[in-house]
Amino acid sequence: MYMAYGWPQVIPLEQGLCPSAQKIVYLKVINRTLLVVSPTHFELWSTSQHRVRLGKYKRDSDSLQREGENLQAVWSPDAKLIAILTSAFFLHIFKVQLSDKRIHTGGKQPSALCLATISLLLTEQVPFTAKDLSVSNIVSDNKHMLLGLSDGTLYSMSWKGEFYGAFQFYPQPTASFDNSQMPLTLENGLSPKSHPKVLMSNHIIPRTSEINQLELCLPLRFLFVLYSDGELVSCSVSKKGLKQVDCIKAEKRLACGDAVCASVALEQQILAVGTKRGIVELYDLAESVSLIRAVSLYDWGYSMDDTGPVSFIAWTPDNSAFAVGWKLRGLTVWSVSGCRLMSTIRQIGLSSVSSPISKPNHDCKYEPLMGGTSLMQWDEYGYRLYAIEVGSSERILSFSFGKCCLSRGVSGTTYIRQVIYGEDRLLIVQSEETDELKMLHLKLPVSYISQNWPVQHVAASQDGMYLAVAGLHGLILYDIRLKRWRVFGDVTQEQKIQCKGLLWLGKIVVVCNYVDSSNTYELLFYPRYHLDQSSLLCRKPLLAKPMVMDVYQDYMLLTYRPFVVHIFHVKLFGELTPSGNPDLQLSAVRELSIMTAKSHPAAMRFIPDQLPRESISNNLVLSDSLTREPARCLILRANGELSLLDLDDGRERNLTDSVELFWVTCGQSEDKTNLIEEVSWLDYGHRGMQVWYPSPGANSFKQEDFLQLDPELEFDREVYPLGLLPNAGVVVGVSQRMSFPASAEFPCFEPSPQAQTILHCLLRHLLQLQLTRNET
C-alpha cells in the first residue's frame, strides 16, 4: 500500500541550447541515481536523502546541428553506460564513472554521495536502410540493445557500438484474444471471470503500422511489441537475451486497436496496458495473458475527454501498486486490486473523502500535472515518484510516499497498531478520546536517519506499544507510551547490523542480520530495554536468507527458498531484566521441505488452535494446551493465492485467490474486551473484506464474504485497510485528502484514517451459530 503525503517537491533542470524543445526524452532511476535526458543535454541526480545533481553533459551547438537533437535513450542495467540516439540517427555512448570526490551536505562528515564523471566513448551513425524512419524506445540487456522502427522491423545493436541490422519481425501469433467478446468497460477491482477473453485462431493480417513501444522482461523471457494502430503482441525471447534476435517469436495478440502503452510487473507477473479510452487493463502473464480487471476514473466523474488517453504506467518496486499518467491531465496511483491510493486530479463530487470543498475554476492552477503526464519513475524504495508534465523541460515533480507492506515477507506485523512508514518518518494512526482517528507524523532522530537512510523495516510489538525501526544499518526502538527513542550507544555495533527482517517475540526484538564479511545471515535477539552487544540474548546462524518469518508466543517460523519450513521453540532462562542475567535458547522442533510448482510464499502466519470461550471459562481444557505448538499456518503467495498448510503432514489446502493482505486474529489478544475473538482471520482483495470463522466437521473453516452479507462493506475504491481495532470491532483504513493553502503552488497530500465497523457481521455470525445449535 502506498499513500502520498506532504507537498510535491521540485527538481529544477537546466535549460538547453534550444529552449523551444519542450520535451524530456528519458527518465530512469538506477542505484539511487536519476537520469534525465532532454533534447540537448542530460543530467544525473541523487535520489538519496539529499537531492543533489551529481553530473551533467551538454552538447554544443555544432554537435546538435550536425547530428541532431537527442531522440531516444537507454541506461545499461549496471548504470555504467548511457546510449542516446539522435534525430539524425547518430548513436552516442557515454561512460558514467563515480569520482572520489565526496559531496559535503552540511553534516560533520562527508556524505556517501560522489560526483559523476561523464565521458563520450563513441559516436557512430546507425546505418538504417531508409532515412525517413521513426523509432520506438530502446530496450537493452547487459550486452545488446533493441529498438523498433516505423517499417515494422526490429533493429539490434550492441553496447560496443556494433550494428547487427534490422530483423524482419512477423507478428502473426498462433492465437489471439477476441476483444469483441469483452464488454467495453469493467468495474474497478472486479475480476471479469464471467466474461473471459476467448482464444481464437488468428488470420494473417498485413502489417504496415509502425512499432511505437517495446517492453522487455528478461526474467520472464517476454518482449511486448506495441504498434501505432493499437495492436499489442507478446513475444518470447531467447534465454541468452537480445543476442539472438531471430529467436524472438510472436506468441499472442491482445488489446487490438486500443493499446497506447504497456508495463510489466515482474513479481506479480502482471501486464498493465494503457488504452486510448483512458482505461488501464491488467493481464495475468501466468495464466495465458488473461484479463484480470480494468481500472479508470470513470466512477469519479472523469472520462477520456477530461484525461485523454493513458500516456505512461510505472509499477512500484514491489509491484503492489502502479502509477498511471494521462496525456491531458494528472496521474493516479492504484493498488493491484483497484483501490485508488492517490490522485492529483481533484474530485468533482462531494461523496468522496478526498473531495475538497468546491472552489472556483481559477484555483485549478494548484493541481499538479494539470497539463498531463509524459514520464514517471519510482525510486528504488518506492518512497518517491518522479513525474514530468507534458510540454515541460524545466523541472521534475517529486511526490513523497509512505507505504505499509502488510502480510509481506520478513517484517512482523500486528493489526492493533497501524503504521505507514516513509523514508525518514513514521505515520501512526492514533485513536483520540473523541473516537476520532488521527495521523501522527513521527520523524526519526536525525542522528540515526542521517547515517542510515532510508527506513527499510518497521515492526510493532504485539500490544502495539513499541515500534522497532531499521534503516540501512542498525535499528532503533520507540516507546509510544513514553514517547522516547532507544538507540545503540556504540555506533560501531550499529554499523555492523544490516537488518533484512524484523520481528517481536514478546519483549524481545528479533533481527535478521546480514553479515557482509562472510555473506551469511543470522538472527540476533535483543531485549527491548537495552540495545547493546553486552545484552545480546542469542545469536543464531541461518542456512540462507529467509524469505518469510513469523512468531507466535514461544514459536518461530522461518522459510527458505524454494520452500523449506523450519520451526523453532524459544526458551528463555532467567528474568528478562538488566539484573536478571537472562539467556535464550532455540531448539528446532519441525522441518518441512515442500515440493510445489506454485509461486513462492510472500507471507506465512501461524494459526493457533481456536478454542470456544465457554470451553476456556468452564476449564474444559488444560491451560498448557492454550500455548502448544501451532499445527497450521496461512500462506499468502506472490500471485494472491491464500492457502492453509498443515504442519503435521505438509498438506496444503487452497482457500481463495486474489488476496492482497490478511490478518490472523484468533489467539492474538488476551484482552477480555476483544470483540473479534470469534474470527479466525480476515483477508482483503478486489472482492473487499472476507472473514473466516471456525466450524465443526471436516471443513474446519467457512468463509463469509462481506460483499454478499453487507453491501456497505464491499470493495472500497478509496479506503485501503491497514488493520483492526479489536476492542471497537472496526477496520481501520486510510484514504487520500488534499488541502489547498493559498500561498502554495501545489496542494498538500494528507493520508486520512477511516474507521468501518464490522460488529453487525459478527453479530449475524453469532446469531446463525446459535440457531444452528438450537436446531441440533
The domain locations on the chain are 416-542
Residues 692, 684 contacting (CB under 8 angstroms): no
Residues 467, 412 contacting (CB under 8 angstroms): no
Cα–Cα dist 715/688, whole Å: 4
Phi, psi of 582 (to 5 degrees): -75, 155
Cα–Cα dist 665/414, whole Å: 9
Radius of gyration of the chain (CA): 28
From the list 655, 639, 634, 628, the residue with the least C-alpha distance to 559 is 634
Angle at 336 between CA 217 and CA 388, to 5 degrees: 70
From the list 726, 687, 738, 724, the residue with the least C-alpha distance to 709 is 687
How far, in Å, are 402, 459, 732 from residue 503 at the CA level?
20, 6, 22
Q: Does domain 416-542 have CATH number 2.130.10.10?
A: yes
Side-chain half-sphere of 208: how many Cα atoms within 13 Å? 1
Cα–Cα dist 602/197, whole Å: 29
Question: What are all long-range contacts of 343-352, with beta carbons under 8 Å and residues at least 24 apart?
Answer: 343/297, 343/300, 343/736, 344/368, 344/369, 345/297, 345/300, 345/302, 345/307, 346/738, 347/300, 347/301, 348/300, 348/301, 348/302, 349/300, 349/301, 352/300, 352/718
How far, in Å, are 231, 426, 460, 558, 760 from residue 411 at the CA level?
42, 15, 9, 12, 32
Residue 456's pLDDT is 93
SS3 658: coil
Residues 477, 531 contacting (CB under 8 angstroms): yes
Q: CA-based diameter of the chain, in Å?
A: 92
- The DSSP secondary structure of 501-537, one letter per residue, reads EEEEETTEEEEEEEETTTTEEEEEEEETT--SGGG--
Residue 600's pLDDT is 84
Q: Write out the three cell numbers for 140.
A: 537493452
From the list 556, 466, 529, 451, the residue with the least C-alpha distance to 497 is 451
Phi, psi of 197 (to 5 degrees): -75, 140
**Which residues, 6+ apart, have CB-to-CB distance to 65 below 8 Å?**
none
- The terminus-to-terminus CA distance of the chain in angstroms comes to 45
- The DSSP secondary structure of 570-594, one letter per residue, reads EEEES-SSTTS--EEEEEEEEEEE-
From the list 72, 109, 110, the residue with the least C-alpha distance to 91 is 72
pTM across the whole model? 0.89
Indicate the length of the chain as a whole number.
776
- Phi-psi category of 79—alpha, beta or left, where left has phi over 0 and alpha has psi -120 to 50? left
Q: Write out the three cell numbers for 653.
A: 489446502
Residue 18's pLDDT is 59
Residue 355: count of CB within 10 angstroms of its CB: 16
pLDDT along the chain (776 residues), means of 10: 94 74 88 94 92 93 93 95 95 91 66 86 90 92 94 92 87 52 41 37 51 94 92 90 88 81 92 94 87 91 92 95 96 94 77 39 67 95 95 92 74 77 93 76 93 92 90 95 93 94 94 95 95 94 94 93 93 90 92 83 86 41 55 90 89 88 76 66 84 63 45 70 80 90 87 84 72 71
